[in-house]
Structure formats: C-alpha cells, structure tokens
Amino acid sequence: MANTMTLISSVTVGSGGASSIDFTSIPSTYTDLQVVCSLRSARTTYIDFGAMRFNSDSGSNYVAKYLYGDGASVTSGNNGNSTQLEIPQGVVGNGATSNTFGNLQIYIPNYTGSNQKSVSFDSVTENNATNAVALLQAGRWTGTSAISSMTIYSANGFNFLQYSTAYLYGISKS
C-alpha cells in the first residue's frame, strides 16, 4: 500500500468558469496518480457527464465499464472504443441544489509503465432532492506511453463553475 501521497498540482475554477481542468507536465517520479475533484457545471439539469483524456489523445483508445445507482435502480454499461474516458456521473449540473458539487476520485496505477493504463473512478452527485447518483467505473487507456498530462471536462461542452476543484496527487510506494 502507498507510503506517501504528494500534492503535485491543484486547480480551483475562478469566477469566469473553465471549459476544462488541465494537468500538464506530470512528473514521472511516482508510482501511481490519484485525482480528487469537486465539480459543478453550467448544464441546466441536475447532472452532467464528465470526461477525460490523457496526453491529448483523442483517438478511439478508451474503454470503460460502469455501475451506477440512483436510489431507485441500478444500471451498468459499457463505454467502449471511445475518444475519451467518459464519466457518466460525478459532475453536478447547475440545475441541482444550489452550492452542491459532484465528488469524483480517479486512481491510475503504474502511470509511467509501457503497458496500457487502467483507471478506476468512484463518484457521487449531491442533490438534496430525489435525484442523486453513485458510480463505480473501471476504464482503460490503450496508450503505452507514460501519462504526462490529463484533461478533465464536461462531455456535453459546458463550463465548470466557480469553486469547482481538482487535486492531482502522486503516490510513491516502497
């Protein structure tokens, strides 16, 4: 298990909003990466779909399987051969309860290895109403180069709103 977790970079969205959250020049000195986000978008529904890419790769090099529940039902599915790693839940839209954010944790083991990269997601939306969602997802980027940058954005093209945050951590194991 991890011995150290070091903050590499953090982003807090300002008053104008942001179309994406970008982490660039990720050092290759760690074993794993972890991203922790609190996100709200300008989409007028209670939920938005997030997405991410590694190393600016927009080819059909991402696959994922997900399981989510909304308190009334459970759904599973496949996001296969996509141009992005989709995050079906985890970003609260601006139609949700005021001042609430979706929470998302992303774990990327062996991000510098020469094999394809596995990614796990754990997210929840918050909405003090009947609609709220929890998601678990396992994904894969078929790229074999080290991850040196990542971009998180709304798959629907909406800006992240002020006070949305993302923290990138490097994890070292001994």
Gap between the Cα atoms of 20 and 48, Å rounded:
14
- Whether 10 is covered by a domain: the verdict is no
Q: Is residue 27 part of a domain?
A: yes
User: Is the residue at 133 inside a domain?
Assistant: yes
Q: Which long-range contacts (CB under 8 A, 24 or more apart) does 13-16 make?
A: 13/160, 13/161, 13/162, 13/163, 13/164, 13/165, 14/162, 15/162, 16/162
Looking at residue 130, what is its pLDDT? 66
| DSSP conformation letters of 68-85 | EE-SS-EEEEEEEEESSE
Q: What whole-number percentage of the chain has pLDDT above 70?
A: 96
Report residue 75: phi and psi, to 5°: -130, 145
Q: Considering only 12-21, 83-92, 153-162, which range has the smallest mean pLDDT?
A: 83-92
Furthest-apart CA atoms within the chain: distance in Å: 46
Phi, psi for 77 (deg, rounded to 5): -170, -175
Report yes or no on 145 lying in a domain. Answer: yes
Structure tokens of 161?
């709103």
- Residues spanned by the domain of 150: 17-172
Entry pTM: 0.92
Q: What is the mean pLDDT of the chain?
A: 90
> Token match 């890419």: residue?
53
What's the whole-number mean pLDDT along residues 94-100? 86
pLDDT in tens, 18-28: 999 999 999 99
Query: Is 1 among the domain residues?
Result: no
Domain count of the chain? 1
From 24-33, 83-92, 104-113, the region with the lowest mean pLDDT: 83-92
φ, ψ for residue 119, nearest 5 deg:
-140, 135
CATH number at residue 121: 2.60.120
